Structures are given as structure tokens and as C-alpha cells.
Chain A
Amino acid sequence: MASYDLTPQIAPNLDRHLVFPLLEFLQERQLHPDEQILKAKIELLNKTNMVDYAMDIHKSLYHTDDVPQDMIERRAEVVARLKALEDAAAPLVSFLQNPNAVQELRADKHYNLQMLNDRYQIGPDQIEALYQYAKFQFECGNYSGAADYLYQYRALCTNSERGLSALWGKLAAEILMQNWDIALEELNRLKEIIDSKSFSSPLNQVQSRIWLMHWSLFIFFNHENGRTQIIDLFNQEKYLNAIQTSSPHLLRYLATAFIVNKRRRPQFKDFIKVIQQEQCSYKDPITEFLTCVYFYYDFDGAQKKMRECEEVILNDPFLGKRVEEGNFSTVPLRDEFLENARLFIFETYCRIHQRIDMGVLAEKLNLNYEEAERWIVNLIQNSKLDAKIDSKTGTVLMEPNHPNVYEQLIDHTKALQGRTYKLVSQLLEQAQAPAQAAR
């Protein structure tokens, strides 16, 4: 199952700190030997300032109480640097902690800078120090502090490059604190900047988009509205192109989102084509499931894939999120996925059949006969399915679905009237405008 683990593909597109949750998850699922994961963690921590944490892991990895010398040295260094940065940023921080003083700030950035400079002797150097300090805090794992400082820094900074990286930092901090609502806001802000900004090179822009998408996975699979929003974001032409060119593995998440969402059919068809096209560069059970159902109409294959999908979902850090309910945990997404996938199969199956044996159907749906019958009855009752059950022969009969010719004709012509009317009114408007001008 480890072969469907996307961590190696995803990790390079994430911030160091964002990889931790993934590793935690992997550790929990025990897909890889514990030792490897711990080593990976230390590796990750080496470049950050979370030295204490690294020491703990080191201890548990090698079952000793000794800590390598370089870690201790590093710790001292980090502490010293923290001190220095704190001092540098102190004037601004104390200013910001004073609510009265903060009230003096206005919407006008220039004014603010001027005011800070005049009245508090806070110049660009201090502001820069604030950024460095925030960054350092983030590196140390103090995400909430970092988020606060970055927020304030953004209000004061004039350098757009810096502002952008502050925004990235803020997003990461919010994600790590699991403030999904705020994170989503930041995400949208960032997206706007990325889309609007004239990047130095298109390549850069594509790269930013890919990062954004990777980071957003945290948000979308935790936020309540995430599953629709992920489609909104990923399925945009530009983002879809970015996925296709550089990170096709993201298709898994988009595909899952599509399956879990019942609406949005128009985009869905196009998406199937994309999956079809990218088959050579990426496939996993989830995308294969879609091709089976919507391209090859191979329902037995879809069946098999569905079972595999379950595994994949359980082992994916984003999809396999567990919810503890009482004393047992469930993976809500899995249940939803299976339910919807079943519906997908059934729906397509029904579209091309006029009579189906219930036994076969039950088998195809991974249900027993009774359940299948109940399920179909439900569907019929919810008027999702135009069918009848013939219980004597044990078959489902589809009602033929031929729209009335006359209705069609009416519908064809109905819009014409509106269009023509609009056309005429527009013409008249146009004609009147010059006439008025002439008068």
C-alpha cells in the first residue's frame, strides 16, 4: 500500500513545518518503519530552530539520554539569536502591544510609517527586525506569535516581495495552528496576489500556484466547505494546467473532491478527460476508478478499484482524517466516498440498461441483496431514479426516458423569443442614443 503514498511527491512543495503533520500521520498508520520516520523528522528539524523537539526525537530514536554535541551547540546559538532579534524588534513590539498607541495607526500606510518614525523613532530597520523576529519565532515553532507579528508586519511593510513571503508565513502558521477559517482567508488573499501579480517568469507563477495548492490541501480537507472550494480552486484552468504540467498527483485530491461532491456535473465531464489524458503521468485507484466508470464502462473493474480506493483513502494524510466518536473512530471521508462511488456506478449502469438483475446489481454495489433492494427503493423514493422493481423476476426495470418531441420543440424556440426581444431593445437603445446626442 505504501506505493500509493504521496508524501515524497507532496513534501517538496510544502514548508518544512508543514511536513510534520504528514509524518505524524504516517507514523500512526505505520506504513513505514518507525525508525525511518524518526530519522526523517530529525532531518527536517535540523534546518529549523526547534532544537528541543529534535533532541527529544533523538532520544527516542536511539533510546539514549545523550544528545549529540552539535545539537546542544545549536540550541545555544538559537537562543542567542532569539535574544538578539527580540532586542532589535523590541521597540516595535512594545509599541504594538500598547493598545492606545495602536489606535493611532490609520489605514494609510505612508502616514503610519511617517508617524512611527517621528513619534516613536521606529524606522525601517525596526520593521525589518520585526519580520526577522517573526520568522525566527516561526522557525522555533511558536506559530501563534509568528502569526501575530506577521500580521502586523504586513500592515507596515512596503516591500511587496517581503509582504508576499510574510503572507506565506502567516498562512503556514495558521494552518499549523489549525485555524482553518483564517487560513482560508489568507489563502484567498495569497491566491489573488499570485493570479494578479506580474511574475518575473511564468515558471515562477506556476511554481507558486503549485505550492498554494499543496498548502491548501490542509485547509480544504479540514474546513467544512473545503470540498467544494477545492474544486473551485483546482479546477480553474490555470491551476489545472499547473497540476497537469508539474504535479499530477494532485489529481487524486481533485478526483476525490469530485466524487464526494454530488453537484458540478458540467466540469466533471471535462475533468474525466483530463484524467484520461494524464493517465500516462499519474494514476492511482481513485483516478482509475473514474476512468473505469466513465470511460471504459467497466463496472467490474470499477468494483475492484473501489476496494483499493478505500485503502488509499485510509492511508492518505489528507483524506484519511479520523474523527473520534465515542470509543471508535471513523473516517468520514471514506464512508462518503464509498457511498458516492457506489452511486456513480449505479447511475451509469442504469443509464445504459433497461433491465437489471437485482442479484447482479447487489454484487456490483458491494451490498447484499436486501441492502441493495432497500438502497434502490430509497433512490426511487427520492425520485433520483426513474425505475420500478419487478420483485417476481427479481429485476429492476428502467423507465424509458424519451422526452416529448413537442416539449423539445417548444424548448428550442422558447429562448429565441427572449433573445430576439433583447436584440431589438438593444438596437433601439443604440438608435436612441445618437438621436439624443444630436438633440
Chain B
Amino acid sequence: MASRFWTQGGSDTEEEESDFEDEIENVGAAETTGTAAGSRYLQANASDSDDSDGQKRVVRSAKDKRFEEMTVTVDQMKNAMKINDWVSLQESFDKINKQLEKVMRVTESDRVPNLYIKCLIMLEDFLAEALANKEAKKKMSSSNHKALNSMKQKLKKNNKQYEELINKYRENPESEEDKHEDEDEDEESDGSGSEFEDPSQLGESTDEEDETEEPDDDAADGAWEKKLSKKDKLMDREFKKDPSEITWDTVNKKFKEVVAARGRKGTGRFEQVEQLTFLTKVAKTPAQKLEILFSVISAQFDVNPGLSGHMPINVWKKCVQNMLVILDILVQYPNIVVDDMVEPDENETQKGADYNGTIRVWGNLVAFLERIDNEFFKSLQCIDPHTREYVERLRDEPMFLVLAQNVQEYLERVDDLKSAAKVALRCVELIYYKPQEVYDAMRKLAELSEAADGEKDCDEPKVEESRGPSAFVVTPELVSRKPTFPENSRSLMDILVSLIYKNGDERTKARAMLCDIYHHALFDEFSIARDLLLMSHLQDNIQHMDVSTQILFNRAMAQVGLCAFRVGLIAEGHGCLSELYSGGRVKELLAQGVSQSRYHEKTPEQERLERRRQMPYHMHINLELLEAVHLICAMLLEVPNMASNTLDSKRKIISKTFRRLLEVSERQTFTGPPENVRDHVMAATRALCKGDFQKAFDVINSLDVWKLLRNQENVLEMLKAKIKEEALRTYLFTYCSSYESLSLDQLTKMFDLTEAQTHSIVSQMMINEELHASWDQPTRCIVFHDVEHSRLQALAFQLTEKLSVLAESNERAVEARIGGGGLDLPLRRRDNQEYAAGPAAVGGRWQDFTFTQGRQGTSGRSGYSAGGRPLALGQAAAAGYSRDRSGKSRGTGGYYGRTGSGMRGSQMDASARMVSLNRGVRG
């Protein structure tokens, strides 16, 4: 049986074997052929001599026998793999190990046969696959599962011995292809393990094959698929044999045939790619070559069928190369137009290179480019960021940028600016998150690798061309293979972004704007980033956009917050970040990890979706730094605020998150030394509450996230100054009742501030009526006034306040019923106007929801202490306060809607209620 197969072994194609799949008894034999054929084939290739087993087998029959045994076992294993039967797989594995010993004994060498190594690799891959596929794992029977686990252990132990060999084998390009092929096949349920060898043959030797191989037309076979492949072969050979006879028609016919087979069951995806690649070489006209190249790329996209996995990296690279060739052709023949709207004429591509009119070819460059980018993104998502592989993969980025730049250039030349904008966006999205250092590194890498690649590149295509004996349409490299980067990433961004603003559609523009904002924020240009955000109205309508844009918005907000902190705008920074943290799902909002929620189980579907939109690791915003910044901002705002209203617990709370954390930490009986960011900030808070700025700063300074900042010293300096200021304020708030007067000198000494600073801070507090005191200029002292209300008075004030709240709620209730408009109280009207004006104004909304924190803080505070002020003002302040509250929750609600995937119901409801109330008032 086997020998019969051997005679025809040369004509191996995977269809052949897959065809035999169902015939169980044949399987073993067929597989034998598969593997043996491989070696036989190698043997035929005298040049490939590193495979020792083939030759030795001929010499010694004992060894031969052992080998055969082994191959049989391997086949059994393959079968077991196909049906996912780990129990039998385990048995086979044990068996093969025993056989190995025998083989080794027989061959009397210490060299482990390649067959075995191959088998190990196959097993390893399959195991990884199985482990990754959790669903399937769940479905497994318990015995199977157990076998899987023990297999895992065994394999690990076993493979360690052969690690070197395995790696060597893997590094070998042929075997790498095997591996990928393997993965792919395993993904499809009907994929046959036996296929795994063929692509390598195909990949490396479609061309040589025909020269070296004996024709075996006479080989009999029944499978129609085989016939087809036979025909392919024939066709190919036909092409080879007499290049002059190849006509456009034959190529076209063949091309149609191959394309028609696409997606059909049993069509090898790799094989199709190879066939098409071959056809590009024999294409008669540039247009035809183009057409076929488009199909090649489509076929390459097909290689990975699943949504979750990514395209094999080498296929991706080839894909990029193909795109570049397409561009070469397009540049060389400007009369060829790529279009996906019109169905082109059947024989359009027949027109040769000398044809002058326009030739239409079906295709969509932008869609291809976007797909390539998506695949790149996906691969980065999938690869473990802590491996070398990830870094290697990142190095491919300039490659993509070259392509994008060329496509963009081409599109601009043909005046398709809309598409050019889309392409530009892809570039922007690769660049916007890079600080200047990373950008420089990328630039350098691009230059370096291009220098090295340049030579290699020159060789490679040549080799390819020369291998294909009949590349009829030779395409010179016209488009540059080297990306051009300006010195400064900002200037690059500016160029791209302005192109997009001019020509892009809404979504493209919005995304570009967000990237732009992010980039500005990254470069510490807070005011520009803020203005862009304000002018674009993005925060108004981001909730109507798709999730990934929302994520981008969140990222931009986070970055703007960090930027505000770095430049010392604490209140603004807090405004940007607090919303992100109030839900406790930062990870999810920034797409930097999946957060588990206790209360609400996600469906697998949701989980998968979420996983798919994760940011690759290198784009992450450091969460620890973010948290530290957020908490420190909150601390700086909240601590003096708490100190100023110790007596009144229901007063304005600036950061609820911070308060909650503080409560938790206060509840602890013993406080250990700080460990995480939170502990540090809490420890600093405790020190700050006592006015001990030095200790507070030291604690915060000891955080190690600061080394992530570029201008660490400046930021820490700023932070220290801020802490001093707030410590001073806190101190004054807390202890003002214990002093009759306090000299400026003493204060300056206590808090290590300059006189002017101290004076300015204290004066501010006086003006805002936070501190009931005034300066005594000749002696340079602060004199405190005793304006404490008596118990009765305080209660009376509380009562009046409650009354006005009551009146207000009555009015609201009535207005909601009647439809409003009736009550023309001057105060209320003003509020409504302001509300109405808010959204209409360019910057109104933004100010509402971020700057308000700071501003409302002061207005709220002054409202509170308005007790000591002229009467009319007191009331205005109270009303203003209530307005602030509603205004803020409105802002919050809006933001929530925007940020999440619309899942924070409760807050949404609350804010919706507020809004509708307001609306009632308005209407």
C-alpha cells in the first residue's frame, strides 16, 4: 500500500490527503505518504541534504522499520488531534517516546530524528491551541480534560530536553510556515492535520517543483479535487514549458478558476495564495497583474478566518509587499484606475501596457489598507506584550507607515481626498500616542532598518522574479520603500490632521480631533488641547459615536487631565479625571483591561466584544500614574475644603471617590506603612490635614510612578508648592479659631513660602470670605474676627435654608406640572437662561463640567460663608449653590453617557431626572 503511494509520492497536494480522510483504514497509509513523501521529496532534491533520515533509511532496514513505526504513531496522533481526543493522544505520546528510544538505539546516534521533533512541535502548538480555546475546554469530558492536563505536564517536561532542536526547527522558515498553517487548520473544525506539511512544499517549491519533478500525469486517482489540482499543475507546467504560448486568455481563465474556488470547502487557503502569487508572475498585462494582485491580497486576508485571531505575521508582511507592488503598478501606469463602484468590463484587463485610455480595475486600496492596519492592531492585541515577539512586531510599524504614506500620496495624486483623509487617520492613530522620544526612536528605527533592509529588499524581489521564470510584467520599484518622517511628531500630526479636517467625514474628523487633542496634551500644551476640545463640541455628542471613538475620547480626557496636572492646573486636572474614576471602572473606560463587576455578569458575547476593543499594551496610559494624579488632585482640593466645613457635613463635596477612600482608611484600626498609590495618598492626606506639608510631600514623593514623567523635577517642584499652599490654607481653616492674630512672618516661616505668596493666598481667602479675618497693615498681622454664630443663630440659619429649599422644591413641583414659565422669580430666570445658554455657547458645556469644579468650588464656598455678608447676597449665593449642584450632575450625566457603553444606569437616571426637571422649568 505504502509503496504504491510512494511511487506517486511526488505529486503530493493536500487535497489528495484530505480526500482520504474519511477512509479510515487508508488514513494511516495516506499520512505515511504525506510525511514520507516529504522526505522522499527532499531526497530527490539532492541539494537538501541536511535531512539525514531519508538517506539512512535506504541503507538500514532496521532503522527503516523503526521509522515507519514512528510515522504510524505520528499519524495516530494526528487523528487523535483531529477529534480532539486527548486520551488516545496521551497514549500515542507515550508510545512515540518509547519508539524514539528504539530508533535512537538503532541509528546509534544521539541525533533525534526530525520527525520526532516535528511531532513535538505539532503537539505543542495543538496544546497551546487547546488551552487557549476555553470554550472547547469546558465542553471536554472529564477524562479528556484530565488527559489534556497531564499531557501538558508531560509535554513540558519532555520538550525541555529537546528545546534547542525545537527552536532550531521552528526558526527554519519552512517549519514556521508549517506552524502557522497548523494553527489555522486547527481553528477550522474540518482542517486536517495532515495538511501541515504541504504548504511548505508549495511555498518553497512551486517553482522548482516543475523543473525537478518527474511528470506523473499517468498517476491514477479518483478524487476530483485531485484532478483539479492536477489540472493546476498541468496549467502551471504549461505556463512554464512554453512561456511564449501563454496568452492573456489562459491566465485569465486560470485566474477565474482559482478565484471561483475561493471559500469553497476543501480549498486550501495557503494554496490559493500561492497559486495566485504564481499567476501574478505570468500575468500578461499590468492591469491583469493588478487584478490578480488584488485577489492575492484578498486571499491573504482569508488566511485567518476567525475574528478573534490575527493574520500570521509573515503573511501580513507579504500582504504589505503586495500592496506596495500594486502601488508600483499604479504609479507606473497612471492610466489604470482602481475603483470599487463600477463593475469593470470583462476584458478590461486585456488592454496592454501600451493602451492609452483609462483602464478600470476593481479594487479598493483604502479598504485593504484599513484591513491591514486592523490586522496589525489585532496582532498587537493578541501577542503577549512581555515577549520579544511583541517588540519584533512593533518594529513592523514603519513598514505599515510606508505603505500608508504611499497610498495617501497616490490618492492625493488622483485627487481622491476623501479616501486620503481616511488613510491619514490611520497614520494619525499610529502616531498620536507617541511622545517625542518614542517618535524619535521609531524614526531612527525606520532609517536603520531601511538601510539594512534596503539591501535585502533589493535582493529579495530579484530572487523572486528570477525564480519565476516568466514574470511578464516586470514592475520596477517606483514608490519609496522608506517612510519619511519630519523631525517633529507635531509637524507630522499637523500635516495629517489638517488634511483630515479639510476632507474627512464626520467620524474621521472627530477621531482625528481626539488624537490631536491627545497629542497636544502629551506635549504639555494644555490650553491648546482644551481649546480644541471646546471648539469641536466633542463632549456634547461623543455619546452618539461608536464605542471605539468613545474610548479614544476617554483616553484623550485622561491625557488632558494628566497634562493639566503637569502644568499645575489642579482643579482642571481633577475635573478631567474625576468622572473617569467615579464609576470604578477605569480599566474598562480606557480599554486597558477587563474589569470584573460583581453585580453584573457579562455574557460571553459582551466579553468578546470588549476583548476585541482592548488597547495594545504599548498604547496604554499608565493606570498607576493616572490614579496617583487623580487622587493627588482630589487631595489638594478636598483637604482644605474639608477643613473649611468641618462643622457642616452636608456641605459641598468635591470628590466623592476621595472621601470614600478616606473614610475607609480612617476606619482602619492600624495603619501600616503605605504600599500602593492609594495608601500613599491617604498617608499624605493625614499629614496635610495637620498642615504638615513636608511629610505629605515626602510620602507622595516616595511614589515610584513619578519616574514615568518626563520633567519629573519640575512637576514635583510644582507639586511641592501646591502642597505648601494647600497646607497653609488647611492650617488656617483648622486653627483660625484658636488664634486672635497671626503674623505674616510666622506663617511664611511655617510653610516655607515667600511673603508675597502667603499674602496672596491669605488675601484670596479673605476676599472669598473663607477666612473671617483681615490684615493689620502696620504690624503685618492677620487679625481674626470672631463671627461665630451662637447655637440658636446657627439653627435659625439652618431653618431658613431648609425653608428656602422647601419653597424651591414646591416651585419646581408646580412648574413641572403646569409647564413652567409662570413663576418669574428673577433668580430662577437667571438660572434658566444660563442653562439655556450653556449648550449653545461654544465652550459652555465644557466649562460646566470641568472647570466648574474649581469655580463652583469657590462660588459654593463663598455661598456658604455668605452668612457673614449683606443679606441679598446670601440668598443669591444659596440659590446659586443649588443651581451648581444641578448643573454639575447634568454635566456628569452627560459625561457618563459618553464614556461608558451606556451601562451606568443609576447615574444616568439621576442626571436625566435633573435635566428633565430643568427642562420643565424652561419650557
Measured CB to CB, the residues of A under 8 A from B are: 206, 237-238, 241-242, 244-245, 273, 277, 280-281, 295-298, 348, 351-357, 360, 393, 395, 398, 400, 402-403, 405, 407-413, 415-416, 419-420, 422-423, 426-427, 430
Q: Which residues of A contact B868 (CB under 8 A)?
A: 402-403
Total interface residues on B, CB under 8 Å, equals: 52
Apart from A407-B871, A409-B800, what are 9 other A-B pairs with CB-CB below 8 Å? Answer: A238-B841, A241-B842, A245-B531, A297-B763, A352-B775, A355-B777, A360-B777, A395-B778, A403-B869
B793 engages A405 (CB within 8 Å): yes
- Least CB separation from B775: chain A residue: A353
Sample of 23 A–B contacts (CB below 8 Å): A237-B840, A238-B840, A241-B843, A295-B764, A297-B763, A298-B756, A298-B760, A352-B763, A353-B776, A355-B777, A357-B778, A360-B777, A402-B787, A405-B789, A412-B874, A412-B875, A413-B803, A416-B803, A416-B807, A419-B823, A420-B807, A422-B823, A426-B814
Cβ of B623 under 8 Å from chain A: no
Instruction: Give the 10 A-B residue pairs with the shortest CB-CB distance, closest first.
Output: A411-B871, A297-B763, A412-B800, A241-B842, A354-B774, A352-B766, A353-B775, A356-B777, A280-B527, A237-B841
A419/B531 in contact, CB under 8 A:
no
* B785 smallest CB distance to A (angstroms): 7
Residue of B nearest to A426 (CB): B822
Chain B residues packing against A (C-beta within 8 Å): 527, 531, 534-535, 756, 759-760, 763-764, 766-767, 774-778, 783, 785, 787, 789, 793, 796-797, 800-801, 803-804, 807, 810-811, 814, 817-818, 822-823, 825, 837, 840-844, 851, 855, 867-872, 874-875
The answer to whether A353 and B875 have CB atoms under 8 Å apart is no
CB distance from A59 to the nearest CB of B (A): 45
Given contacts A245-B531, A408-B867, A419 and B825 within 8 Å (CB-CB): yes
Whole-angstrom distance between the Cβ of A334 and the nearest chain B Cβ: 28
Q: Is the CB of B774 within 8 A of A245?
A: no
Contact B837 A237 (CB under 8 A): yes
Question: B775: which A residues are within 8 A, CB to CB?
Answer: 352-354
Q: Report the bound CA distance from A427 to B804 in whole Å.
A: 19
Contacting residues, chain A, for B764 (C-beta < 8 A) = 295, 297
| Chain A, residue nearest B785 (CB) | A400
Chain B residues with Cβ below 8 Å from A298 are: 756, 759-760
**What is the distance, in angstroms, from B546's C-beta to the closest C-beta of chain A?**
24
Give the residue name and chain of the A residue nearest to B833 (CB): A237
Question: Contact check: which of B783, B823, B872 meets A423 at CB < 8 Å?
Answer: B823
**Smallest CB separation, A239 vs chain B (Å):** 10
CB nearest to B793 among chain A residues = A405
Q: Are B871 and A412 in contact (CB under 8 A)?
A: yes
Contact A411 to B803, CB < 8 A, known contacts A353-B775, A405-B793:
no
> Are A409 and B774 in contact, with the CB atoms below 8 A?
no
Which residues of chain A are near B851, meaning CB under 8 Å? 277
Are A426 and B777 neighbours in the complex by a CB distance under 8 Å? no
Residues B759 and A297 in contact, CB atoms below 8 Å apart:
yes
Task: Give the Cβ gap from B479 to chain A, nearest Cβ, in Å.
Answer: 36
Which one of A352, A356, A357, A393 has the greatest number of beta carbons of chain B within 10 Å? Answer: A352
> How far apart sit A69 and B283, CA to CA, in the bound complex (Å)?
67
Contact assessment for B841 and A416 in the assembled complex, using a CB-CB cutoff below 8 Å = no
A245 to B841: give the CA distance in the assembly, Å. 12
Q: In the complex the two chains form, what is the Cα distance from A100 to B434 in whole Å?
A: 76
Contacts of A351 in B (CB 8 A): 766-767, 774
- Per the bound structure, the CA–CA distance linking A297 and B775 in Å amounts to 12
Cα A416 to Cα B800 in complex, Å, equals 9
Could you tell me if A403 and B871 are in contact, using CB atoms closer than 8 angstroms? yes
Bound-state Cα–Cα, A409 to B796, Å: 7
Closest Cβ of chain A: how far from B871's Cβ, in Å? 3
Closest CB-CB distance, B78 to chain A, in whole Å? 66
Q: Nearest chain A CB to B783's CB is how many angstroms away?
A: 6
Q: Are B759 and A419 in contact (CB under 8 A)?
A: no
Choose one: A273, A280, A415; the contact of B875 (CB below 8 Å). Answer: A415
A273 to B572, CA, bound (A): 14
Given known A-B contacts A273-B855, A357-B778, A412-B801, A241 and B841 have beta carbons under 8 A apart: yes
**A297 and B767 contact, CB distance less than 8 A:** yes
B767 in contact with A352 (CB, 8 Å) = yes
In whole angstroms, how far apart are the Cα atoms of A335 and B767 in the complex?
Answer: 28
